[in-house]
Amino acid sequence: MVQRDEDTTSETPFLTRRLLLKTTAVACAGAALGNDAQAEPSPTPLLKPRFEKIVCPWTPENPRHDHQLIFPLKDGGLLLVWCEYYVNRPSLIDRDRTNRKGQAGDDMPCRISARVSDDKGRSWSGRIILQENLWKRNVKHPNLVRLPSGEILFSFVAWDSSGQRNTFMKRSKNECESWSEVVQISQPGWYCNNNDHALTLKSGRILLPAHGVVGGGAYLGGKSTLESFLYYSDDGFRTWKRSADSMTAKGRGCHEPSIVELEDGRLLCLLRTTLGRVYQSHSPDQGDHWTKPVATELRAPDSPPLVKRIPQTGHLLAMWNNVESHSNWPRTPLTATISKDEGRTWQSFHDVDARPKHDAAYPSVFFQDGEALVAYYTRPTASARDAEVMLKAFAIGQFYS
């Protein structure tokens, strides 16, 4: 059952009407001119990180990096997992990163790689290949979940064609040293799972949020309407189900869902749309059924939000591109906000990255020892689809200042 939205809007207390007109005009210019147009400077305070580093840098051999996450290992080390795109023909090896011909598009060859840190993310090892590209286009969108037994579940999306992009999973009992055979989770079709979005509920149920094409069939870019749903399992994904409801909206639909468990047992889902807002939906039954998506106060372009619970405080932390647009640009600033009332209202807005000439999107967050490790892709707006992964460390208290 697909839950569709009404054409709703809400007023946002942290953007003035004058600034709204400016950002809307910039968004229109970006849609018309492409990423060479520039976003307006953000009026939101900018957080100063304790530490920052490009952990996955651009090279001619690997011109794009994104969809990252940080996963803790039992020995106290951290595993940085990300999508590493690579060139596969001679004509691309000397390509300038500003040349849009041969740019690193979504369907460029890609594998899932990793690095290890033993100093809480300040330095990282060389590259490890976690999942080779065995499909016709690429493999990406990693998620890792640890079971109570210590076993690690590793899910990803493998892309063969415009009609086949499916979700797979494999397991490790020895801290990612070796893996089981790969198992397909999805029914054959076209689906996506965002990085760092899988989660375990208090009940032990594991959720893997996803989106796909309404009605099935091939993905047709901006002409496709997308719906969000999830796979869930109560036995460590030895068996699993797809949620009874899906979530969609007008425009391009709802996609790239991010989910958090609320204190009352309900689930909150934040959704990407083309309607100039982050949308939200709730589930009363741990993810099987969902309410009709409605607009939040968070203005946004067509790019994904992320929502997490801060373990140290119990509050919700959301990150998203804080500018209204009905296209997928601008993708700056990348802004963080806190909710102390389970997502009903948001406060303490701070920018994580607000460089006008750079995109910053698809964040992931890992919490450790009073600190948040925030990673996201970044690229100059002149650099076509090429991207690097930036890592910044913040004290938890900075999000409240």
* CA–CA dist 60, 102 (Å, integer): 12
Report pLDDT digits (tens) over 104-132: 889 999 999 999 999 999 999 999 999 99
- What is the reported pLDDT for 25? 39
What is the pLDDT, as a whole number, of residue 23?
40
Q: Per-residue pLDDT tens for 17-48?
A: 333 333 433 434 343 334 444 567 889 999 99
What average pLDDT does the segment 314-329 reach? 97
Q: Which whole-number Å values give the CA distances from 226 to 107, 221, 342, in the listed order?
A: 18, 10, 27
Residue 318 has pLDDT above 90, yes or no: yes
The tokens describing 277, both together, are: 């807002």
Q: Tell me the mean pLDDT in the region 58-81.
A: 97
State the average pLDDT over residues 374-394.
94
221 vs 9: which has the higher pLDDT: 221
pLDDT at 16 over 90: no
Interatomic CA distance for residues 82 and 49, integer angstroms: 21
pLDDT, position 1:
52
Higher pLDDT: 383 or 253? It is: 253
* pLDDT of the residue at 188: 94
Cα–Cα distance for residue pair 2/14, rounded to 1 Å: 32
Tell me the domain boundaries of the chain.
Answer: 2-98+107-400
Amino acid 98: pLDDT: 79
Distance CA 137, CA 376 (A): 23
Q: b vs e for 156-181, b when ≥16 Cβ sit within 10 Å of the residue's Cβ?
A: bbbbeebebbbbbbbbbeeebeeeee
Sign of CA dihedral 171, 176, 181, 183: positive
Q: Is the pLDDT of residue 4 over 60?
A: no
Query: What six digits make up the tokens of 219?
Result: 């993905």
Q: Which two tokens stand for residue 225?
A: 């309407």
Residue 201 has pLDDT above 90, yes or no: yes
Distance, CA of 390 to CA of 361 (rounded, Å):
10
What are the structure tokens assigned to 280, written together? 């939200």
User: Residue 206: helix, strand or coil by DSSP?
Assistant: strand
Instruction: Check whether 14 has a pLDDT greater than 60.
Output: no
The CA angle 377-380-382, to the nearest 5 degrees, is 135
Question: Among 71, 53, 77, which residue's Cα sits nearest to residue 153?
Answer: 71
Could you tell me which residues come within 8 angstroms of residue 25 by beta carbon, excluding any fewer than 6 positions away? none
pLDDT at 19: 36
More confident residue, 239 or 6: 239
Quote the percentage of the chain above a pLDDT of 90: 80
Question: Distance between CA atoms of 71 and 80, rounded to whole angstroms?
Answer: 7
Q: Where are the beta strands (DSSP E) in 173-261?
A: 183-184, 191-192, 199-200, 206-213, 226-233, 241-242, 246-247, 255-261
266 DSSP β-pair partners: none
Shortest CA distance to 109 belongs to which of 82, 141, 87? 87
Best CA proximity match to 356, nearest among 387, 385, 333, 377: 333
Residue 229, amino acid: F
Average pLDDT over residues 353-381: 97
Partners of 170 in the beta sheet? 154
Residue 341: name the closest of 400, 262, 283, 258 by CA: 262
Residue range 80-85: mean pLDDT, rounded = 98
For 276-282, the CB contacts below 8 A with 24+ separation are: 276/9, 276/300, 276/301, 276/324, 276/325, 276/326, 277/9, 277/10, 277/324, 278/305, 278/318, 278/320, 279/5, 279/249, 279/254, 280/343, 281/3, 281/247, 281/254
pLDDT at 182 over 60: yes
Domain 2-98+107-400 has CATH 2.120.10.10: yes
